Amino acid sequence: MILKLGLLYSRIRRDEKLLLDELRERGHDVEKIDVRDQRFDVAAGGEVFADLDLVVDRCLATSRSLYATRFCEAYGVPVVNGNETAEVCADKAKNSLALAAAGVPTPETTVAFTKESALEAIESFGYPCVLKPVVGSWGRLMAKIDSRDAAEAILEHKATLGHYEHKVFYVQEFVEKPGRDIRVLATDGEPVAAMVRSSDHWLTNAAKGAETAEFELDAEAKALVEKASDAVGGGLLGVDLMETGDSYTVHEVNHTVEFKALNDAVDADVPAAVVDWLEAKAGEPADEDAPEVTA
């Protein structure tokens, strides 16, 4: 089956090039949709969204991803990942709540709205602990706090300089991981491939230059990936886990996941597996029970 597939983007990274190459090799009709050129009319979608079998959201900006997926759903166009998943994954506080509600082990986390209450939360965790922005990625603006002096300074800076979202203080326990964490790419909870990201730095993002290597998931990790995926509504996801002795904790699930580093690190053909899944997804019947979007 040849698909007419829309790819929402504002920047074509190597991830999108890998996907585009795979889709075109299979003969699918791909419409690249630069969201910067679009106007999203609340009454109806423009021509660009007509007759698409499926839209794949690859927006680099979280804010654009959230609105664009919402509009696609309002236009009746199937989109992956869906807006519900995007909403939960885009915000670390919502992400943590969803994981905890589903019984997925996740680091202890507290959210506070003022410097004073955030400082109390930090003191209750003890040092070191971690302060993260609720929105953001690539390890930006993450702080490992080693002392009360540092906590006071960082909170003051965030409160004074930050966007209002930086006044939502997300405080988390510092997990003593073995110098690495695990990134799993999964399609509706089914792992495609996994890698460890290792670094001497406490941040182990591939975007920060961490070394990567393939990782063999055990049964417990696979079960957690499936559970974490379900907790956020499923889709094409990057599930991040940390090893805690003989078990794992899931610290977040990413909804417009980058996979170029993973593809380089593993034997599996990641874009091929993603496109296999997209083909299956496009063939699924529409969800009659899905709530009507009235945004």
Partner 1 sequence: MSQCVECGADLTLHDDLEAGEIVDCTTCGAELEVVDVEPPVLDRAPELEEDWGE
Site residues, partner 1 (CB under 8 A) = 9-13, 16-17, 20-21, 32, 34, 60-63, 133, 135-138, 140-141, 163, 207, 238, 254-258
Which of residues 125 and 185 has its CB atom nearest to partner 1 in the complex?
A: 185
Which of residues 10 and 117 has its CB atom nearest to partner 1 in the complex?
A: 10
Which of residues 13 and 222 has its CB atom nearest to partner 1 in the complex?
A: 13
Which of residues 32 and 223 has its CB atom nearest to partner 1 in the complex?
A: 32
Q: Which two tokens stand for residue 255?
A: 């909804």
CB of 294 to partner 1, least distance (A): 25
CB of 76 to partner 1, least distance (A): 26
CB of 162 to partner 1, least distance (A): 9
CB of 124 to partner 1, least distance (A): 28
Task: Tell me, letter by letter, the H, E, C secondary structure of 194-218.
Answer: EEEEECCCCCCCHHHCCEEEECCCC
Residue type, 51: D
**Residue 223 CA to its chain's centroid (Å):** 19
Q: Are strands 79-80 and 54-57 parallel, antiparallel or unpaired?
A: parallel
Which of residues 4 and 32 has its CB atom nearest to partner 1 in the complex?
A: 32
CB of 20 to partner 1, least distance (A): 7
Q: Please report, for residues 38, 208, 243, 285, the alpha-carbon distance to residue 199 in angstroms, rounded to integers and kept in the order given.
A: 40, 9, 14, 44
Which of residues 109 and 205 has its CB atom nearest to partner 1 in the complex?
A: 205
Spatial distance between the Cα atoms of 76 and 81, rounded to a whole number of angstroms: 14
Backbone dihedral angles phi then psi of residue 173, each to the nearest 5 degrees: -60, 150
Spatial distance between the Cα atoms of 55 and 258, rounded to a whole number of angstroms: 17
Which of residues 64 and 177 has its CB atom nearest to partner 1 in the complex?
A: 64
CB of 9 to partner 1, least distance (A): 6
Spatial distance between the Cα atoms of 186 and 226, rounded to a whole number of angstroms: 8
CB of 246 to partner 1, least distance (A): 29
Q: Which two tokens stand for residue 34?
A: 């630069």
Spatial distance between the Cα atoms of 286 and 295, rounded to a whole number of angstroms: 20
Q: Which two tokens stand for residue 198?
A: 């290792």
Say how many residues make up the chain. 295
